[in-house]
Every structure is written in structure tokens, then in C-alpha cells.
Amino acid sequence: MSAPPKYSAAAAAPPRLRSDDDDDDDDDDDGNDDEETVDEEFISKSAGPVTMIPDVFTQLPPVRDDLETDTSEAQDETVEACLPFLAGQDDLFEYNEHGVPRINREKHIKFLHNSLGRLPGGFVAADASRPWFLYWSLSALTMLGEDVSHYREAVAETARGMQNDTGGFGGGGRQLSHMATTYAVVLALALVGGEEAFEVVDRKAMWKWLCSLKQADGGFQVCMGGEEDIRGAYCAAVIITLLNLPLDLTPESPAWTGDSSANLFTGLARYVRRCQTFEGGISGQPDAEAHGAYAFCALGCLALLDDPRRVIPKYLNVPRLISWLSSRQYAPEGGFSGRTNKLVDGCYSHWVGGCFPLIEACLSPAASSGQGGQADDSDRAGLPPVSESLFSKEGLIRYILCCCQDQSKRGGLRDKPGRLSDAYHSCYVLSGLSSAQNQWVLAGSDDKSATGVADPAWTVLPPLEDVQIFDKRDRIRPIHPVYAIPDENQRAIRSYFLAKDSEGFF
């Protein structure tokens, strides 16, 4: 092992980086570094006092493998680009006494409103992702404190044109219904709220469509004839619970057995369990590579099937999952990667960072059994209750506020320095910030939802840490840890459809 080099802080614009996208790792040009050495003390741009930034965020880890590979070179480039921002040396920011900049709320809001308007011609390649642009932009605006209800009529009209008579929503008019785009449309409708938006959904057709995607092994296909994966499991659970759909199967369903006890959720938790890998992470399908987004989908799906304190330890090896998730957070960056040996990326602030509230919930005291005692803790053997956060919230907050904000006129949030901001990263970077700025706890409740499973109440509290490195005015609106929209929005759409019965479905 070689001694770690002392990194210099770049005074000029950061270098462009290799992408951490799943399908490409293109090289970009490096920028220029000055000769100034990063020290543990930095001068705040905002007021001038000496600020103390922990060494872990200003230099390489003390142990590094001296074997040079494309991966290690890309990682070094990423660190070199992030250090000036983390060290409080970027001229575009004003840093507080902790060396953390404010969130540029106004610029980001303007960027997101523009993302809901007419886009340049190059976006035609993303035509099938139109529902996602609705959700990403509306969700990010909501977290920044914007009222998006004035988009209700436009969103309802757009969604109506994407809905198919056979059920579900496609990426646009005359496009095949897909689980992912249907999930995005339902969440977008929940964000704008109101009867006009909710009544767009043809629930009977939606139920029949979901039944046609339900598979005999417990999982869901993402579209007719498409792949079966963990995304389908999570999206289906969200759609079913938000819309209060019947769990009964149609006789035409591939999962139909003639047994009245089989339903849309039968075998779903077992399918999720089959997706846990030898590393401890979660893959999209059984026997594939673990990925951060799939881990969130797995945990979110299980948390909708039953109380997380029961269902997550029952179907997943929690210690191994915690180990894998923890390995995704890097120093000095403070952010998360999505896979082993990949680069930090702002979107995993949600996909990986958002896993920890669910993990921490499953390690909270067991739920009541409903019989005056405690629930069966046999599946929690060896799992101690959590007394502090399982990841570095400070590290994630530093990465997001220092490295993920586009401080140019463009605004918005980005993957990392040197990358362009976009609606996708704006949404999921802010979602991760919400997880880091807040603490979600579960109430001990055995109330049953319309789906017939436990429906525990989630409560948001201030974080466990006594000292916060961000200014109070930079706190963003919290979102539900499972549905990834504000709690009041998920409550509103669920209450609306709970008031409706399933008459006429059968």
C-alpha cells in the first residue's frame, strides 16, 4: 500500500468527469489545479471566520490501494474535482462557519419550473420519460417549498392522454403502459392533488392490468411481455396502496391458481428475498449484480407489505445489507455510489441514502402484536436497536450542498462537479437531503390498511445529531420514506380512494 498523496485544491473551474451512469464511462477533460495545499482550516467566504472542516472531507483516506486501474483513475479525478468545493474554496459559494454553502433555492426553483415547460428538441429522445419529468420536477419543487397545485389541470390533462384503455400509463400517447411510468404518473397526480387529478385514474382498468403483470413466482413484470424485476415489485406496491386497489386476482392473471387466498401480494416478499446477493445488496432480478436503486425498491416494497420491524428482518439479511449500503458512502466526497467500484453520484443520495430510514425503522423497538404483548422478534435475533444514524449524515449533506448544486445561471442539482444539472438529479439529490436532514420513526400500531396488512404511522422528527452543519433556513420539506412524496400528499390520495369501494370491479 502506498502513502496517500496530498491533494491540492483547485482554484479554477473543476474538471469535467467520467460519468457514473450505468451504461457508459466516457472520459472528459481535466481542469487545472493550483499549488495550494488543502489544510484543515479554511476561511469562510461569507463572513471571514476560520472554519473547521473535518479532515475526512479534505484529503484522501489514509489507506489506498496502489494498483492503478481505470476505476482508480476515475475515482482520483472525482476526488480532485470535489475537494475544492468540500474545502470551502469555490468562489461561487458563500460558506457558513461549518464550511457548508446555503442551498440556492431560487435558482433551483426557476430551473425546475423551466423543466415543466417546453423543452429543447434534443429531449425528443426522452419522449417515453415524460411522466418522469413531471414527477421529478414537481417533487423537487415541493421539497423546495413550492405550491405545485396550480399545475393540477395541466398534469391531469397530460396524464389522461398517457392512459391506456387496458390500464396503466405509458410514456406518452399511444405508448405501451409500463410499471415505471405508471408509478411516476400516480405520484405526479398525488403531488398536484385534488379530485380533478385523482379521478384521471381508471382504477378498474389499472387493477386488471396489474393482475396481468403478476407472476406465479410472486413478482411483477414491468410491462406486458417485459422483464420481471424488483422495480415492478416496488412500483406495484406503491400503486396498489395509494389507489386502494383490490388485492383479488382476475382469472386471466398468470398467478391465478383458483385459490381464493392467492392475491396480488402473494409471494411478493419471497421474490424480494431472492434478489439479495452474496454481497448483501439487492439486485434487479435474482442472481444479478447488487445496485443501490434496487435496494431502495426492495426495502420500500417490504415496508408496504407489513410493518418494517417485522417484514424486513424476516425476508432480508439486515447486517449484510447494512454492510453493503455503508460501503457505498465514500470519503472524502461524503456521497454515495450505486454499485461496487463505481463513482459517487448525487442521485444515490436518495437511492442509497433513502434506504437508511427504512433500515433504522426496522431496528426500532418491535411493533405491538395487537394482543396486548409484543410482536414475534424471532426474525430480529442478533439485531440490536439503533441508537444513532447508520450513515454519515454530515458527509451526505456536505456532498449535496457543496458538490451537487449548479451555481451557474442554469441552477438545479447535479450528479457531481463537472456534470450538468437535470430534473432527475434535482429530485433525487433533494430526496437524499431530506433523509439526511430529518429522522423518521415508526409508531407502534397494528391498524390495518385497505390491503389487509399493518399500516404503521410514520412521524418525522429532527435528526439525532445535536449540531447541524446546515443553516435552519436551508432545511427542505421532508418526504415520506417509502412513497418519496410529502406525507400529507400520500395521506390525501390514500384517503380519497379509501372512501371509494371496489363496487363494479368484479
Catalytic residues: 291, 339, 342, 345, 347-348, 415, 422, 425
Using alpha carbons, list the distances in angstroms from residue 453 to 26, 33, 263, 347, 366.
Answer: 46, 57, 13, 31, 16
Contact call for residues 64 and 1 (beta carbons, < 8 A):
yes
Distances (CA, A) of 294 to 130, 320, 351, 419, 422: 22, 15, 8, 24, 22
| Rounded Cα–Cα distance for residues 300 and 347 (Å) | 17
Ramachandran bin of 88, using left for φ above 0, alpha for ψ from -120 to 50, beta for the remaining angles = left
One-letter-per-residue 3-state SS of 215-232: CCCCCEECCCCCCECHHH
Report CA 137 to chain centroid distance, whole Å.
14
**Per DSSP, what are the bridge partners of residue 344?**
337
- Between the two ends of the chain, the Cα-to-Cα distance in Å is 67
Phi-psi region of 142 (alpha: psi -120 to 50; beta: other; left: phi over 0): alpha
Q: How far apart are CA 121 and CA 486, in angstroms?
A: 32
Provide CB contacts within 8 A for 189, sequence distance 6+: 155, 156, 159, 197, 198, 200, 201, 493
